[in-house]
Amino acid sequence: MITITNNSGGGQPVSMANVRAVKAICAKHGIPLYIDACRFAENAWFIREREPGYADRSVKSIAQELFALADGCTMSAKKDGLANIGGFLCTNDDKLARQEKDLLILTEGFPTYGGLAGRDLDAIAVGLQEALHEDYLAYRAASTAYLGDHISKAGVPIVQPPGGHAIYVDAATMLPHIPRLEYPAQALSVELYREAGIRTVEIGSVMFARHDPITGVELPAPNELVRLAIPRRAYTQSHIDYVIEAMLAVFERRDAIRGFRIVEQAPFLRHFSARFEHC
């Protein structure tokens, strides 16, 4: 599976050349290639903006080329589907599709609705087309870049260049006094919420910590990022300015931010429900 855009790596797009190379390897070994297509429209936009040979193509035709390279996809429609709920699974394997439909009937509902209300299916059908409107994509990319440019110029370290759906703050660089296993990205997420009610997500050692296979000791993740994901068609310019003001206020007092320890965690996917206390 290849995720477009790269959510855990700063929201960066995947080039068409990259997808073609992955497809060639998969085909050589008889492995189906699936796309995590949550942000397919943004990825297609960046291919047109940045990859040689695509400047004169429509975003829709680029998206169609991307999907033609895959054997199937998964889609959370709350992203580039512009819907409030739902998603779908696609495959070009007829036998597998029949198995998936049978399982769906047992678990969620008939293939014609899969547990979703009719209005949600309608919203997804419309949203998939509207997400490819190039004026919408241009505004969204500009709005995200505006947020990234303003906070980075003030000294806040971010993953560059800004992605399409989010700005990723490098919390380890911003908060070097907090040890990696006291979760600097989690500490920054908490501080932004306390400052201004801004909900972010940690993409660091809470989410991606590893364990030494011999000692079992927890090892920090490669990065300590805080994702500021921007809701689609929700924020105005004044909302973005509010986020900038809040981030800069937290940045000014960054030396006083304290780390955390985990006091309760699930055996899997602990970042969804862990409880913390200050160190």
Is the pLDDT at 75 greater than 90, yes or no? yes
Choose the weakest-confidence range: 14-28, 167-181, 228-242.
228-242
User: Cα–Cα distance between 165 and 43 in angstroms, integer?
Assistant: 10
Where b means 16+ CB within 10 Å and e means fewer, 51-90 reads beebeeeebeebbebbbebbbbbbbbbbbbbbbeebbbeb
Instruction: Work out the pLDDT band at 108, boundaries 50, 70, 90.
Output: confident
Q: Which residue has the tokens 């400052």?
A: 195
Average pLDDT over every residue of 265-272 = 89
What would you measure as the largest C-alpha separation in the chain, in angstroms? 58
User: Are 35 and 4 in contact, with CB atoms under 8 Å apart?
Assistant: yes
CATH 1.20.120.850 correct for 134-278:
no
User: Confidence class of residue 11 from pLDDT cuts 50, 70 and 90?
Assistant: confident
- Region 2-130: CATH code: 3.40.640.10
pLDDT tens digit sequence for 186-216: 999 999 999 999 999 999 999 998 888 888 8
**β strands within the chain, DSSP E:** 2-3, 34-36, 72-76, 87-91, 166-170, 201-203, 210-211, 218-219, 225-229, 260-264, 275-278
Nearest CA among 172, 125, 171, 164 for reference residue 148: 164
Who contacts 67 (Cβ-Cβ below 8 Å, separation ≥6)? 35, 37, 40, 73
When the pLDDT of each residue in the chain is averaged and rounded to a whole number, the result is 93
pTM of the complete model = 0.87
Q: What are phi and psi of 101, to 5 degrees?
A: -65, -40
235 has a pLDDT exceeding 90:
no
Cα gap 170→168, rounded to integer Å = 7
CA–CA separation, 47 and 157 (whole Å)? 25
Whole-number pLDDT of residue 137? 94
Higher per-residue pLDDT: 175 or 267: 175
Note the pLDDT tens digit of each residue in 23-35.
999 999 999 999 9
Q: Lowest-pLDDT range, 33-37, 77-81, 224-228?
A: 77-81
Q: CA 111, CA 169: separation in Å to the nearest integer?
A: 40
User: What pLDDT does 268 receive?
Assistant: 86
- Which amino acid does the sequence have at 251? F
For residue 47, is pLDDT > 90? yes
Extents of the domains making up the chain: 2-130, 134-278
Please check whether residue 143 is in contact with residue 240, taking contact to mean a CB–CB distance below 8 angstroms: yes
Q: Give residue 227's pLDDT.
A: 95
